[in-house]
Amino acid sequence: MDAHLGALRDYQLLLGKEITNAEFRNFAQINSVKVTRRLLKESCIPNDSNTNAKKYTINL
């Protein structure tokens, strides 16, 4: 149930604190946009941005 937290920690250590839905889907090999959005909303802080790719700050 919390395997995504380990993936987010690994991403943070390797690539930085900001992540988009597409980047997390690619890194964690998740196919569903909706599932990834839910995991990021529950685990990260959304950044205020006007771009198409919403960024989240990993805060673990």
φ/ψ of residue 39, rounded to 5 = -65, -40
Decide: 57 and 45 in contact? Cβ < 8 Å. Answer: yes
Model confidence pLDDT, tens digit, residues 16-56: 999 999 999 999 999 999 999 999 999 999 887 766 778 99
**If we measure between CA atoms, which residue out of 33, 32, 27 comes closest to residue 14?**
27
The CATH code of the domain at 3-58 is 1.10.10
What is the reported pLDDT for 38? 95
Residues 6 or more apart whose Cβ sits within 8 Å of residue 5: 43, 60
pLDDT of residue 1: 81
Q: What pLDDT score was predicted for residue 52?
A: 75
With beta carbons less than 8 A apart as the criterion, state whether 57 and 17 touch.
yes
Tell me, what's the pLDDT at 10? Answer: 96
Share of the chain above pLDDT 70, in %: 95
